Chain A
């Protein structure tokens, strides 16, 4: 009983690692997965490695935090370098690797904290887990600090978003279509509206002097428009050109296989 209590932290680490493995297989909300996996990548493997290396917890206060994170990073990287020689590092491989490091080193830590010759003895007493928590007033004040800092991040994010939206533009592009529908070539023409509002355009696509299509477009902000057209192979004498007009003037002009200007 005493032994189990002295290794409660390592048993919790094993449970967390197994929960993390399960979370990889079950579709879960991203924030739930983040809460689970941030410590499982950056803290827990190092913590259990420390437990295996220093069963008597003689490190000074603060040191376990430093070593746990640093050892987690080192173990994750070295494990990843070794594993990628034989396996691609996808989500499942990372999960199994980190869970394996955690479980194996935690089991070694449990065994070393309570060796067979000293079951329930002095070692268990030395390794009792101590938690340091602030008082209620200090805790509440810290929560206020976190809320104010979060507000600063939200304010700055909104400002950055507003700044991004202040750049108004439209993109026009033309590209050979990768998979033409029938015999001959095809091109794809695209228009992307970033004007911050609904925008109206007139698009003319030509090959040589022949008009392939004329379109009136009305696109909402952030909306995209695509058109696939069959064409003869573009050449210097027979280029494919796309011209976008806005407010009666030429606004954008692109072309395939031509040195000509509009």
Chain B
């Protein structure tokens, strides 16, 4: 049976959003060529994508199908903005780590292979497995397969959140506005759209919450296929999340546990309405058991290594800040860059509407005597937003804040949806809608300014230690040489960007960290080659050292050349000297085997014997 679906203004708005993508593409090209006007084109493109859809969703004229079409148009268009940033290859650190993990699955046929770029990939193989399956079966490259997997995940994430908000508020309009607000989380535009396990896990988590809500509302006296089917779906999705991403698993466990706790408290206080339904016990047991088993038998080491580092760095930097041992970081700027005043003002301004929304939304929830444990849980999640802002006062806390934003904004989006559900009066007037759409646009743009380095928002010429902007054809050529002519998985030392390229396309094993308390990066930075360097090369069996001579141009934009705890990280004022980068040519037994101008490969294997 075929039914006609009414899409209203969605098709023309999709054309408009596509026009916005054209502007973004032209802005990217202008930035690549170093032309003025690149910024204007890029930001105008973002505004053309976001603002008209927000305006339409705020209004009351659209039906359910049109709203679903609009939120999907928004999700796909904003995903394509990320794709347009680097349309031919992965360039981000995490993406290249996952490229390596996927390539290993294709090469070896095994999951759980060690990955020096991102050790966590060995414990959470979902993204690599699905992408490898698609690449092998379709014949597409890992890059194109990865784009498809993350694009589909992104679509599912937004659709699942929309349906969740509809179920919680009973309002399609509220849910649409909730998605407009969710897109304002600082990770939404680039970080959560990258080829990484979190991007996939968020979609699974949203689907899981939708299924958990479905389960929780089933009547306790009900029996039959519906109960069994929903339970099986919840368990399947819980297993899916547990093997995909540690932080998402923990966030979901925390969320469902709080939901269960609030429900128990409400039932104990004699509010028996919820006691008649299944509640969140099964979802909690499913996700907690799945993750506990996965943690205990497979991925415990990787989880502790990754999350332990993130949280301990954040904790230490907060302690340092409070005790006065270290100053706060410059707000709304990266380590080695200073944002223009207008950008910093916009980033700061973007926080204000969210804080106002929080106050007004919670007040409305209080006045309406919100009597549902899940809604109360979402209110509690929204309250974490000011805490996440506080974390941004420190360098390491910023990372935690950034990573928490996609979870915290679920609560914020709920409050937005709750606030507008059933309040249609202002939605029929043009001016209030225009004002709200403008505020939403400022929040969206400001959040992107907050979440992404100025240098990496658009493409452009090479910069030192600037993530995407440091990837150039010379680095890729050196990685291709390594893949073709050096023994696979050779251990080597180099800067972060070349480690990423050589560790992925090159098939090498870049080494990080310390040896006998000597930081490995000293081999790159020390002005002379000394006994300590020789000890490190011998002790770590480093077969190659790769030098990028462009490092001497300026200090690294992200604050460090190799890793965040290297000597001089975040406080370095001068670039590494040319003598340090050239010293290996004077060392007996070291061969210079490759040179392409900026990049030189030294063979140090003689020193390991």
Please determine whether B22 and A70 come into contact, CB atoms closer than 8 angstroms. Answer: no
Whole-angstrom CA separation of A174 from B593 in the bound complex: 5
Whole-angstrom CA separation of A164 from B473 in the bound complex: 6
Please determine whether A167 and B473 come into contact, CB atoms closer than 8 angstroms. Answer: yes
Which among A67, A84, A138 is the interface contact of B110 at CB below 8 angstroms? A84
A-side interface size class: 35 or more
Residue of B nearest to A59 (CB): B214
In the complex, whether B477 has a CB less than 8 A from a CB of chain A is: yes
In the complex, whether A95 has a CB less than 8 A from a CB of chain B is: yes
* Contact residues, B590-609 vs A (CB, 8 A): 590-598, 601, 603, 606
Please determine whether B586 and A259 come into contact, CB atoms closer than 8 angstroms. Answer: yes
Please determine whether A94 and B136 come into contact, CB atoms closer than 8 angstroms. Answer: yes
> In the complex, what residues of A have CB within 8 A of residue B65's CB?
132
Which among A41, A62, A257 is the interface contact of B589 at CB below 8 angstroms? A257
> In the complex, what residues of B have CB within 8 A of residue A49's CB?
236
In the complex, whether A149 has a CB less than 8 A from a CB of chain B is: yes
Whole-angstrom CA separation of A172 from B477 in the bound complex: 11
Please determine whether B596 and A170 come into contact, CB atoms closer than 8 angstroms. Answer: yes
Please determine whether A55 and B225 come into contact, CB atoms closer than 8 angstroms. Answer: yes
Whole-angstrom CA separation of A188 from B132 in the bound complex: 34
| Chain A min CB distance to B9 (Å) | 10
| Chain A min CB distance to B201 (Å) | 10
In the complex, whether A98 has a CB less than 8 A from a CB of chain B is: yes
In the complex, whether B126 has a CB less than 8 A from a CB of chain A is: yes
Tally inter-chain residue pairs, CB-CB below 8 A.
Answer: 313
| Chain A min CB distance to B138 (Å) | 4
Please determine whether A254 and B7 come into contact, CB atoms closer than 8 angstroms. Answer: no
Please determine whether B225 and A54 come into contact, CB atoms closer than 8 angstroms. Answer: yes
Please determine whether B2 and A133 come into contact, CB atoms closer than 8 angstroms. Answer: yes
In the complex, whether A4 has a CB less than 8 A from a CB of chain B is: no
Contact A160/B11 with A70-B207, A134-B4, A148-B18 known, Cβ cut-off 8 Å: no
| Chain A min CB distance to B7 (Å) | 5
Please determine whether A77 and B243 come into contact, CB atoms closer than 8 angstroms. Answer: yes
Which among A62, A93, A159, A256 is the interface contact of B162 at CB below 8 angstroms? A62
Please, how many residues of chain B have a CB less than 8 angstroms from a CB on the other chain?
107
> In the complex, what residues of A have CB within 8 A of residue B597's CB?
169-170, 252
Residue of B nearest to A144 (CB): B15
> In the complex, what residues of B have CB within 8 A of residue A146's CB?
18
Residues on A close to B: CB < 8 A?
Answer: 20, 24, 30, 33-34, 36-38, 40-42, 49-50, 53-56, 58, 60-63, 65-67, 69-71, 73-78, 80-81, 84, 87-91, 93-95, 98, 112, 128-135, 137-139, 141-142, 144-149, 151-153, 155-164, 167, 169-175, 188, 190, 192, 194, 236, 252-259, 261
Residues on B close to A: CB < 8 A?
Answer: 1-5, 7, 10-12, 14-15, 17-19, 21-22, 24-26, 28-29, 32-33, 64-65, 68, 73, 77, 80, 83-84, 86-88, 105, 108-111, 125-126, 129-130, 132-134, 136-140, 148-149, 152-153, 156, 159-160, 162-163, 200, 203-204, 206-208, 210-211, 225-226, 228-230, 232-233, 236-237, 239-240, 243-244, 459, 472-474, 477-478, 481, 485-486, 585-598, 601, 603, 606
Besides A69-B156, A145-B14, 18 new A-B residue pairs in contact (Cβ under 8 A), listed by A number: A34-B138, A42-B149, A55-B225, A62-B162, A66-B156, A91-B136, A130-B1, A131-B1, A132-B3, A147-B18, A148-B15, A152-B25, A159-B459, A160-B88, A160-B459, A170-B596, A173-B593, A258-B591
